[in-house]
Amino acid sequence: MSASDHKLVNQENKSAADIITWREYEALRNEMRREFRAQDDVLNGKVEEISQKLDATHVTVTTMQDQMTDVQRSLADLRLAVENLTAQQQQEDDKDHELQDDAHNARGAPRGNRPRGWAPLGRNGRGQDEEDGLGKPKFSIPKFEGGADVEEYLTWELKIEKLWSLHPHYTEDRKIKLASSEFDGYALRWWDAFVRNRDEDGEQPIRTWRAMKEAMTSRFVPTNYLRNIYDKLTLLRQGVKTVDEYYMEMEMLMQRGRVRESLEMTMQRFLNGLKYDIKGIVRHYSYTNMNQLLHHAREAESQLADEAKIKGRATGAGRFTPRAAPSSAPAPSTRSAPYSTPPSKPVSNVSNTKKSESAASTSGSNVSTARNRDMICHTCGGKGHFKRDCPNRKVMIINEDNEYETGDDVDPNAPEDDDYDRW
């Protein structure tokens, strides 16, 4: 076989191989197409399912929006009805007040001058509270000037709350107008500026008493008010106060600070603040509530006061008060004494003068305290000074010749008595 024949055979073999490879490719391509179509069908089915769910959700949302619109309309109708009822109630209240004022004004008027339709309060039920049978009370809104005293505002707020409880049918708008109508001084100017600034800033106006109270609390009650109350309550002691004054102050602080604690803690707080001697007596008693503890503290206070009075009377009864000698001039001397000097004044006058001068010089240095009042002088028997500070250290001595000379009643070099040790 020639070379050309071999070349022809090789080409034929290569063509056959190429034909087999192409057939495999066609089969693989067809298989992949079928798989793609199957996956496409699956995806189309899922997309259709999701589309159906979205349509259902859209229908649900649309239904809910329609229902919300209906609810809003119902709320608007209800709000309008409430406003109408409130206005109607306001008119009825105003009529009741007018009738009540007419009744009060006409009560003392002659029968012929009384207004038409007048009747005594409570006779036809118009001027009488149906709930408790009492006539509507007349009241005046307390004034508020807006000072720096926090208790002034808290007291005013408490009074206003009491008034609103007497008139539960008052509208919020009327409460605000009545409360602000009695503002004076700084409070009046502050409220006017507060309302004006909210209007200029585009904020909602104050429409409820609660909102008004919150605004006023924010202005007139400092943020550290409760902390100061807690500090005062923690450091509170009886001191110079009576038992009742101490208890009332503790109770007021607890009320202002809104302190809620157990009865045992309150009793222990009260007991710790009592005076030491009162506390020592109260500890011997048994008590189960605050009233019993307060009663025992009062008894202890009264007992100590009685003992102090008895001790004071006993001390006063044993006090020695020196009496001044009667004023008399010494007899003239009949013989001369070279070493003596005749007196130029009576003896008693000289002695009293020196005593008064000495007392005046030492009285300023003695402090009038409880301890000084209990000091006892062993020279004159007086109180308020020791022996070394006695104003009666100088004495007058009359000799046998009716002449006088002065001298100390104690030796200046002698040791001092241990008065402080006795004290």
Each of the 423 residues of the chain gets a pLDDT tens digit; together they read 566 665 555 665 655 555 557 878 888 888 888 888 888 888 888 898 898 889 888 898 988 988 888 888 888 888 888 887 877 777 776 666 655 555 545 444 455 555 554 445 444 444 444 444 445 556 788 899 888 888 889 999 999 999 888 888 888 888 999 999 889 999 999 999 999 998 898 888 888 999 999 999 999 988 888 899 899 999 999 999 999 999 999 999 998 888 888 999 999 999 999 999 999 999 988 999 999 999 999 999 999 999 888 887 766 555 555 554 444 444 444 444 444 444 444 444 444 444 445 544 444 444 455 555 566 776 676 777 766 677 665 555 555 555 555 544 444 444 444 443 433
pLDDT of 275 reads: 92
Rounded CA separation 400/412 (Å) = 26
Rounded CA separation 188/213 (Å) = 15
pLDDT of 377 reads: 73
pLDDT of 290 reads: 92
pLDDT of 78 reads: 86
Residue pair 377/407 in contact (Cβ under 8 Å)? The answer is: no
pTM over 0.85: no
Residue pair 377/386 in contact (Cβ under 8 Å)? The answer is: yes
Rounded CA separation 160/150 (Å) = 16
The amino acid sitting at 154 is: L
